[in-house]
Amino acid sequence: MSGLTLFFGLFFYLALAIFLVGFLGKIWKYAFTPAPLRIPQTPAPVHAAGVPVRMFQEVVFFKSLFRGNKLLWIGGYLFHLGLLFILVEHLRFIIAPTSSVLNTLVTYDLYSGFVLLGALTFLLILRVAIDRHLYISLASDYALLLLLMAVASSGLLSRFWDGGHIRMNLPQVKAFIAGLVTFNNIGSVPTNKLFLIHFSLVLILLIYFPFSKLMHAGGLFFSPTRNQVDNPREKRWATPWVKTRPTATLPALEMQQQQAPAAAPVQEPAAEG
């Protein structure tokens, strides 16, 4: 095993470990963070059966984003669709032999890649061109968009451009990735420089994922504004100290008044003659 293969193999396992530990740690925190108050964003379901329906609409169609900002919804929805297709298509580097479904999806690699890159560019333009988006944007937001754009650009360039001898050797890439995932017969890392750049950017994205806003992918399911039932009147929430503190009854109050010392009478000032 060459030194380059050893370096990228260790880099892969380190990035994967940080991603899994960070992601599961955040999910654990979300799951056990108390949310005692009813704060669902209305209109919200009034019965528990309506919560899965609402979550399905949020996850699949981004319903609240569509109602709030149509332009942002277009960019975000196209980005997520392109990302979903690319992630599914990349399963061919892990699964052997590849199914007919994956082989069919691979033929649309070019389109999904450009949709992803175009959507990211559109979202970046929105953050710069619209004052409201510019005002609430942080440096980390721009860094995340630029990182995603670099991943998409390097992947497209290495996959579809034959000029300059930078196109990847896909069988070699598949042998290397499959070996890393299965811990068996790890092949030599492809020496294609653009692949090494693309692979490194993907691993950096994995490391950054649990500490960025990308955690909304798992945190959405634990958002009290989305997963709560709008029934504050039907089911009143009481604080724990109200449940454990004894309630003062009327006889107890009367006894306390009898045991209390009588107040001294107030003396009125004598009238001047």
pLDDT tens track for 247-258 = 545 455 556 556
Say how far residue 77 (Cα) sits from the centre of its chain.
14
Whole-prediction pTM: 0.82
Mean pLDDT of the chain: 85
Fold that domain 3-259 belongs to in CATH: Fumarate Reductase Cytochrome B subunit (1.20.950)
Please tell me the predicted confidence (pLDDT) of residue 158.
78
Whole-number pLDDT of residue 244? 55
User: 137 CB contacts (<8 Å, ≥6 apart)?
Assistant: 127
How far out from the chain centre does Cα 208 lie? 12
Positive or negative torsion for Cα 13, 15, 18, 22: negative
User: What single-letter amino acid sits at 49?
Assistant: A
Measured from the Cβ of residue 138, the count of other Cβ atoms closer than 10 Å reads 9
Q: Where are the domains of the chain?
A: 3-259
Residue 221: per-residue pLDDT: 94
Q: What is the pLDDT along the chain (273 residues), one digit of tens a residue?
A: 688 899 999 999 999 999 999 999 999 999 999 888 888 988 899 999 999 999 999 999 999 999 999 999 999 999 999 999 999 988 888 877 777 778 787 777 778 889 999 999 999 999 999 999 999 999 999 999 999 999 999 988 877 665 445 566 778 888 888 889 888 878 788 888 888 999 999 999 999 999 999 999 999 999 999 999 998 888 777 766 665 555 545 455 556 556 655 555 555 555 554
Residue 235, burial from CB neighbour count under 10 angstroms (0-12, 13-18, 19+):
exposed
- Beta-carbon contacts of residue 220 (< 8 Å; ≥ 6 apart): 55, 58, 59, 226
CA distances from 161 to 103, 166, 194 (A): 20, 7, 11
